Amino acid sequence: MYKVLIVEDDQTISSIMQDKLNKWGYETLAIRDFNNVLAKYISFQPHLVLMDINLPSYDGFYWCAKIREIGKIPIVFISSRDTDGDKIRAISQGGDDYIDKPFSLDLLIAKVQAALRRAYSYSDQTLNIIAHKNVILNIEISRIFYQNNEVSLTQNECKILTMLMRNGGKTVTRTRLIKALWDDESFVDDNTLTVNVNRLRRKLNSIGLSDYVETVKGEGYKLI
């Protein structure tokens, strides 16, 4: 079981995040004493930290630096401070990702799972998360996240994107995609795949991912 430390002084937000993470099977600890964040980190030994920036006594940047002195676990900043300067500082001081407030809980789970996958187990299929160039696909709920945008996919759209993301920038042939989507490809019109890809493209375009799926003429598709 992965353990998540929540460093958030708004108890309402902290409790909501904790409840959501617990429902997904994570063990969580929410900080209440913000003078002893490092001590709680050491005693709890989390796999990931969710870190607010605006905190009592010392800010999130300070605690991130302290944690980085003794550990390399993923730290995901969560803050209403959404300027580029804050984001750059968060990443440059050791943060692994940044979520703007307000945020959806589905996005939170997707970011947590993606960070855990990158840090611990790319082969751990129980995380059901794939990430490619800042795009996150949650296979479990067939939902894609990009920056602060998200959109739901049909089962076939999710299967197509899953194959493309797992192959990175490599070409996936139309034959492979058809076999993945339909058990007996001999009865599938080739145009059916084209229709599904075009629907997927329209949804990607709606969240700012135009031209994300590229056609490789005579072969298949790949991600840019």
Q: Residues 79-91: pLDDT tens digits?
A: 888 778 888 888 8
Any domain includes 176: yes
Does 112 share its domain with 22? yes
Any domain includes 153: yes
Residue 15 pLDDT > 90, yes or no? yes
Does 20 share its domain with 95? yes
Any domain includes 133: no
Any domain includes 140: no
125, 157, 181 - which closes a domain: 125
Does 215 share its domain with 104? no
Does 24 share its domain with 79? yes
pTM: 0.65
Does 157 share its domain with 46? no
Q: Write down the pLDDT at residue 131.
A: 79
- For residues 169 and 223, give the distance between their C-alpha atoms in angstroms, rounded to a whole number: 5
Does 24 share its domain with 121? yes
Does 10 share its domain with 98? yes
Q: State the DSSP string of 54-77.
A: S-SSS-HHHHHHHHHHH----EEE
What is the per-residue pLDDT across 168-206, written as a single tens digit (0 to 9) for each?
Answer: 889 999 989 988 888 655 556 678 899 999 999 999 999
Question: Measuring CA to CA, which residue among 147, 175, 181 is closest to residue 161?
Answer: 181
Q: Determine which of 6-15, 38-47, 58-67, 76-85 has the lowest per-residue pLDDT on average.
A: 76-85
Range of the domain at 31: 3-125
Question: Measuring CA to CA, which residue among 109, 104, 106, 137 is closest to residue 48?
Answer: 109
78, 109, 125 - which closes a domain: 125
Does 197 share its domain with 120? no
Does 116 share its domain with 181? no
Q: Write down the pLDDT at residue 140.
A: 78
Residue % of the chain over a pLDDT of 90? 60
Question: Measuring CA to CA, which residue among 101, 100, 98, 102 is closest to residue 89?
Answer: 98
Any domain includes 31: yes
79, 110, 125 - which closes a domain: 125
- For residues 23 and 105, give the distance between their C-alpha atoms in angstroms, rounded to a whole number: 12
- C-beta contacts of 25-31 below 8 A and 24+ residues apart: 25/1, 26/1, 26/2, 26/112, 27/1, 27/2, 27/3, 28/3, 28/4, 29/3, 29/4, 29/5, 30/6, 31/5, 31/6, 31/7
Any domain includes 96: yes
Does 116 share its domain with 173? no
pLDDT confidence band for 24 (50 / 70 / 90): very high
Task: Count structural domains, the chain.
Answer: 2
- Domain CATH code at residue 190: 1.10.10.10
What is the per-residue pLDDT across 101-110, written as a single tens digit (0 to 9) for each?
Answer: 999 999 999 9
- Domain CATH code at residue 21: 3.40.50.2300
What is the per-residue pLDDT across 113-147, written as a single tens digit (0 to 9) for each?
Answer: 889 988 886 545 556 778 788 888 888 788 898 88
Does 78 share its domain with 158? no
Q: Write down the pLDDT at residue 17.
A: 97
Residue 148 pLDDT > 70, yes or no? yes
Could you tell me the CA-to-CA distances from 49 to 5, 18, 41 in Å, in that order? 5, 12, 9
Any domain includes 131: no
Residues 157 and 196 sit within 8 Å (Cβ to Cβ): yes
Any domain includes 207: yes
Does 67 share its domain with 7? yes
